[in-house]
Structure 1
Amino acid sequence: MIESWVIKDDTLVPVSSDAVLETLRSRTDSGRLETWLKSSSGRLLAFVTNAERAMVMLLEEEGDPGEHAVDPGAEGSSGGFVLANGQDDEYPDEDTVPIGEAFRLVAHIVGTGSWPAGVCRVVDR
């Protein structure tokens, strides 16, 4: 069974892999740079962006350190990752991915329940 996913702070209506991209783009365009999705099995998917790069994390449950997508070899760091509580974070670029790649990763996870084959990620557990 494939999980269904909802945006945690919205109507709790399941989103498809196509609809989640429209939602993420709309939220990013309106300055809502942090989005959490929750699956029907309790897993969490985080998308935090500065509109150029994004941190994509997949957690098995609340409190799990999870795993996140990485961009090996990326140099420098980027700021402007503003969380819902107003905290403004900066991350090394190798711990984030370009926003287009982040959209692809989120759509794939929402559509299949798993990371795409060959994606670079770090397990933080």
Structure 2
Amino acid sequence: MIESWVINGDSPVPVSSEVVLEALRSRIDSGQLETWLASSSGRSLAFVTNAERAMVMLLEDEGDPGEHAVDPGAHGLSGDFVLCNGQEDEYPDEDTVPIGEAFRLVKQIIGTGSWPADSRWAVDR
């Protein structure tokens, strides 16, 4: 079975790897900095950004602590990660990636179901 993904709270029409980045950019432009995607196999993909860096998390099912993209060697903290409920988060830069890298990761996961071979992530399970 080929896994398909939809953006939670948007259209029930699946998004492809070719259009997911356009959808994310549009959401960011409208001030929606937190996006959750749900797969047909029950997995979830979270994308939370401050428009410079992003937290990208992949969860196998509800309640799974999952895994997230990391930027080893990055130093400092970044803030202004605004969640849908209005909460504003701050994350260590090593637990987020530059937004261009985040877009690449999301596109790969939507297209293939897995992280790019050259990416780095931490398992939180």
Normalised-by-shorter TM-score class = over 0.9
Instruction: Please name the residue that 1:62 is paired with.
Output: 62
Q: Percent identity?
A: 80
Once residues 5 and 19 of structure 2 are traced to their aligned partners in structure 1, the CA distance between those partners, rounded to angstroms, is 11
2:119 match: 119
Cα distance, 1:12 vs. partner?
Answer: 1.2
Question: Which residue of structure 2 aligns with residue 97 of structure 1?
Answer: 97
Report Cα offsets for 1:45-67 as digits up to 9, x if no partner.
00000000000000001110000
Deviation for aligned residue 1:11: 1.5
- AA aligned to 2:30 is S
1:27 equivalent to 2:23? Answer no
Q: Which amino acid aligns with 2:103?
A: F
Corresponding position of 1:74: 74
1:1-30 Cα offsets, whole Å, 9 max, x none, are 320000011111100001110000000111
Q: Which residue of 1 aligns with 2:83?
A: 83
Q: Distance in 1 between matches of 2:28 and 2:120?
A: 24
> Which residue of structure 2 lines up, in the alignment, with residue 11 of structure 1?
11
Does the Cα contact within 8 Å between 1:2 and 1:113 map onto a contact in 2? Answer: no
Q: What is the rounded CA distance, in whole Å, between the counterparts of 2:102 and 2:60 in structure 1? A: 19
Unpaired segments ≥5 residues, structure 2: none
Structure 1 residues not aligned, in runs of 5+: none
Q: Counterpart in 2 of 1:47?
A: 47
The SS at the match of 2:103 is helix
Alpha-carbon separation, structure 2, partners of 1:18 and 1:46: 18
1:81 aligned counterpart, secondary structure: strand
Secondary structure, aligned partner of 1:105:
helix
Aligned length: 125
Distance 1:2 1:71 in 2: 30
User: For the residues of structure 1 that align with 2:23 and 2:83, how far apart are their CA atoms?
Assistant: 17
